Amino acid sequence: MDIATLIGIVGGFAMLFGAILIEGSNPMSFLSVLAVVVVIGGGTMAVMARYTLGGFFHGVANAVQGVLFYHKVSPIELIDEIAEIADTMRRHGPIALDQVRVADPFLKRGVHMIADGFTAEAVRASLERERDLDYERIRHGHAIFKAFGEAAPGMGMVGTLIGLVSMFGHMDDPKKIGPGMAIALLTTLYGAVLANVFALPIADKLANRAEEEGTNRTLVIEALVMIREGRNPATIRDELASYLPLHTRREFLHEAA
């Protein structure tokens, strides 16, 4: 589970709640059913209208899974594991790879393909297709939450207009002017908060996930192709070091030497 996401979102709402208490207001006065209906309900419907029903719910489910239950794999750990696989391949041949324990499912699939006798070209084509499809699934969730982040402030403005219309329609009754103004301001608040504390951070997190996952899987594909071609494990480690950040790469190569 990604703790940073939970801390960021929950902490963001907690900071806002704390600001209300510091200001001395009653938190219950910031609750508005109309604001929830307009911003959350209206924003959700506006985003859903862009997709099929199944595509919308599938995208949301993938997004939640990608944010909360994504297990980040260090490229260094991948390279070390790949080097061991390459050494096994070089010493005992492809059949021995069936006995190798591999944690990463993507890498495991490629190792089994090599053990089953697939060519390097077939391994690359199959894994690149899987990588691209997984990337599109993550980007789909990213697009949904980004769309909600864009729709929420707009729906908040719609709620503001509803509150202003209500306020101006009851100018003869001073008791209704205050509640109308409160609704107008709260819907704007809801839209801004949901966009900037919830939807857009999740969208950006998914974009980062897609980039990290794409880099790791490209690393795995290139490694498996080199393993299938019978390259030396030390050479494979040196080649894969190019996927590491510069400062990490120097330390990694120094330790390998």
pLDDT of 257:
52
Cβ atoms < 10 Å from Cβ of 231: 16
Ranges of each domain in the chain? 1-31, 33-75+121-256
For residue range 162-193, list pLDDT tens digits in order.
888 878 877 777 777 777 788 888 999 999 99
pLDDT band at 151 (very low <50, low <70, confident <90, very high): very high
For residue 254, pLDDT over 70 is answered with: no
| The pair of three-digit structure tokens given for residue 86, joined into one six-digit string | 């390459």
- Residue 121 pLDDT more than 90? yes
Please write the tens of the pLDDT for every residue from 80-106.
889 889 998 888 888 888 888 888 889
Q: Mean pLDDT over residues 50-62, rounded?
A: 91
- Looking at residues 48-67, what average pLDDT do you find? 90
Give the residue-averaged pLDDT of 33-60: 93
User: What type of residue sits at position 102?
Assistant: V
**pLDDT band at residue 217 using 50, 70 and 90 as cut-offs:** very high
Average pLDDT over residues 19-24: 89
Please tell me the predicted confidence (pLDDT) of residue 255: 60
pLDDT above 70 covers what percent of the chain?
A: 96
